Structure 1
Amino acid sequence: MNDYADLPRRLADAITTRTAISPDADELTVSRAYELQDELISLLGRAPVAAKLGLTSVAKQQQMNVDEPAYGWLLQGSHVEVGNELACGELIQPRVEPEIAFLMGRDLEGPDVTATDVLRATEAVLPAIDVLDSRYAGYWFTLPAVVADNVSSARYAVGNPVPLSQIDLRLVGCVFEVDGRLVATAAGAAILDHPAAAVAWFVRALALRGRRLEAGTLVLAGAMTAAVPVSPGQVVRATIDRIGSVELRCGP
C-alpha cells in the first residue's frame, strides 16, 4: 500500500512555487494523513501559532464532499495584522470564510472533553476570517488529502477579543460581506451545533495522538458558511453578533 512519503514534499513545493497539484491520495488513511501533515509543517520550517478546524459545518462538508471535521495549524507569518493587506499573489487560489476563534485560558486534554469543558476553559472569543489556499487543483480532494495539506491553511485575521460571559455562541448571527455585498449569513449553531463542540472534538482528536490543547492557544473553530474566492482589490468583512467584526483587504 502506498504510504505517500513524497506527498509532504510535493505540497511544500506547491506552496513555494504557487502551483496546484493533483491530490493523488486515493488510498491514504486519515491517521497517516496527520503524520504527513506534521512532516509538511516540519518541511516548511515555520512553527504553529494557532489551530485551525475545518469541515465543521454542514455547508462546508457539502461544499467539499466530506463527512467529518479535520484540524490543522496556522504557521508563523500567516497572521494578517490589522491594517495590512492579504497578499493574494503569495497564494494559489485563496478563499475566505467567517469563523469564531477561541482563546484558551487553560489546558484541555483527554478523550472525554465536552463543549462545557471548553467554555469553562475559554478566556475570550474573537471574530475571525480564515483564508484558505488548497494546494490541490480546483479544491478537489478527499478528507485524508486535505488533512495532509494542513487543512488548506494559509492566512487568518482576527478582531478584538471579548469575554465569553453571557454570550450564547449557538445563537450568535454572522453576516459575511465582500465589497459591501452580502454573500452569506449563518448562526453559531452551524458549527457542529455549537462552536465549543468543535473545539471539544479537536481536543479529543488531539488525545488520540497523545497531545493536548495548551493554554494561550488560539483556535479557529471552523467555517460558519461556505468559502468564497477572493482577488486583489476586494474587501471582506465578517460581523458576528455580540462578538464584533473583522475586515480584510485583499492586495496583489
Structure 2
Amino acid sequence: MTVTDLTAVVTGAASRRGIGRATAQALAAAGWTVAVLDLDEAGAKDTADEIADRHGVQAFGLACDVTDEGSVAAAVDTLAADAPAVGALVNNAGITSPTRFLDVDGGEWDRIFAVNVRGAYNITRRLVPGMAERGFGRVVFLSSVSAERGGGVFGGVAYSAAKAAQLGFARALAREVGPLGVTVNSVAPGLIDTDITGDALQGERKEALIAGIPVGRNGRVADVADLITYLCRVESGYITGATYDVNGGSHIH
C-alpha cells in the first residue's frame, strides 16, 4: 500500500495562515489525495483548488461542521463516493479561548469542548472503523503546549482542558486500534505564527516570548505540518500513542 492510493482528511484547514492548510499542502506534496473539511466551504474549496494545482493530486474541499454529526456524515459520505479510501485523519479543527477560569461561563466551556473534543470524536468515530477494516490508518491530533504546561501563553483553562482531553483520547485510542494497523499520535505546538497568534504577537510581548525559546524564533506552520506528514507515512507504523512537542525547546522537561 502507498499513500498515493489513499486520502488524507484534514479538518479546519481553510485558514490561509493556519497549520491545517500547511498540513494539507505537505500531505499533498507527499502524494496523498487530500480532503479539506471546514466550516468555511468557500475557503475549503479554495484550499483544495490550490493544492490540486500545485501538487497535481486530487483534492476535495467540503463544508463540514465537526460538532454536527449529520454534517460529518454528509462529508464522509461524499468522500466515500468520490475519493480513494481514507488512510489518514488530522484532527486540526479547534478553537481557543483566553478567558480566565473565574470568568468563563458554562456556554463558553461547552463551546470549546464541542469543537476540540466532541468534534474530534465525531469525525474519528466515522473514519477509524474503515481504517481498521482495511488494516491501515494514521490519526494525528493537534493538541497544544497549553495542555502540557497548563495554559499560560494564549489558552485559558477551558482550552487547556480540552487540549489535554485530546491527549488522553489519542493515547487510549492508540492502544485499542494499534493491533488493527492504525496508529494514533498527537502533536503539541508551542508558539506558531498563525492567524490565531499573529496579531497578538507584537512588540515587546513577542520579544519576551521569543527570548524564552532556545532556537531563537517562533514556530512556522511548516514546522508542524512536516512532522504530521512524517507521522502519516506508511513507514511510521511503529510510532503510536506518542505526543510530539513542536516548540523550539521552550518547554524542555
TM-score, normalising length from structure 1?
0.28
The structure that is strand-richer by fraction is 1
Which structure's relative contact order is higher, taking Cα pairs within 8 Å and 6+ residues apart?
Answer: 1
The structure that is helix-richer by fraction is 2
